[in-house]
Amino acid sequence: MLDITPNPLPRETPVSELLLLSNSTSPGLGFLEHALDTIAALLPAGRRRLLFVPFASGDPDRSATVMTAALAPLAVEVTSAHRLADPAAAVGSADAVFVGGGNSFRLLRAMQDCGLLTAIAGSVRAGMPYLGSSAGTNMACPTLRTTNDMPIVQPRSFEALALIPFQINPHYLDPDPASAYQGETRRQRIEEFLECNDVPVLGLREGSWLRVSGGAAAIGGTASAALFTRGAAARELAAGSDVSALLAAVPRFDVGRP
């Protein structure tokens, strides 16, 4: 059981249906092929109008084409937000939203500029399924602070959708003692984050995802995950692990060292 530190800030309304992928491509498999069965289960028959948000990509046309082809076997009707005059207005007529990968700073700023943060958060809290991969998974967190990306643009703030009350680090990599790389490892960067913030961080390895449904959360896919909490050793979580306790976390940012 997690030891959750109380916080006087008001709690957000919980959401019911999320699929947060570490990655959208896997070696030897097509785009999203490793998670296609899980995506199909999340999108019920007759409700497969999906709004795709490709703003993390430098080539949104290509991203939309790849996404449309990947979901064609599921008979999903994909509309790409970058082709719409008012993407925020289209959220209300979608059955689900998928926020794709790329640079998370570029993604957040674009979503701020066109009003998608408010529109998506409201619809997801009302029951619309949210799917994300990589940068799209970062967007589901309270803030952008645990992304791996370079800040190629400056968003208005780091605040994201806060669909979950904890942070995720997609593409989590374990330290490689044989590597010639001398910079901080991913583990060290997450530990630096926890020096200044009291928020759990879930490191999703490639091939893994977080599935949230009906107030429960679990690690899915074929790989394990690593859970980092302030003042404690990292914990390994095998695929299939129940992590519903994380949904009760109360994030505390900018609190300084323990």
User: Domain 17-175+185-248 adopts which CATH fold?
Assistant: Rossmann fold (3.40.50)
Mean pLDDT of the chain: 92
Task: Categorize the per-residue pLDDT at 8 as very low, low, confident or very high, splitting at 50, 70 and 90.
Answer: very low
Out of 22, 24, 123, 134, the active site residue is 134
| Domain-wise residue ranges, the chain | 17-175+185-248
More confident residue, 87 or 184: 87
**Catalytic site residue 134?**
yes
pLDDT at 248 > cutoff 50: yes
Out of 16, 171, 213, 241, the active site residue is 171
DSSP string over 108-142: HHHHHHTTHHHHHHHHHHTT--EEEETHHHHHTSS
Q: What's the whole-number mean pLDDT along residues 228-243?
A: 97
| Per-residue pLDDT tens digits for 180-189 | 776 789 999 9
Low-confidence winner among 27-31, 91-95, 155-159 (lowest mean pLDDT): 27-31
**Catalytic site residue 171?**
yes
**Catalytic site residue 149?**
yes
Q: What is the pLDDT of residue 47?
A: 84
Q: What is the pLDDT of residue 59?
A: 97
As a whole-number percent, the residues of the chain with pLDDT over 70 amount to 93
pLDDT at 11 > cutoff 60: no
pLDDT at 25 > cutoff 50: yes
Q: What is the pLDDT of residue 13?
A: 53
| Per-residue pLDDT tens digits for 34-83 | 999 999 999 988 889 999 999 999 999 999 999 999 999 999 999 999 99
Out of 149, 198, 208, 224, the active site residue is 149
Q: What's the whole-number mean pLDDT along residues 106-125?
A: 97
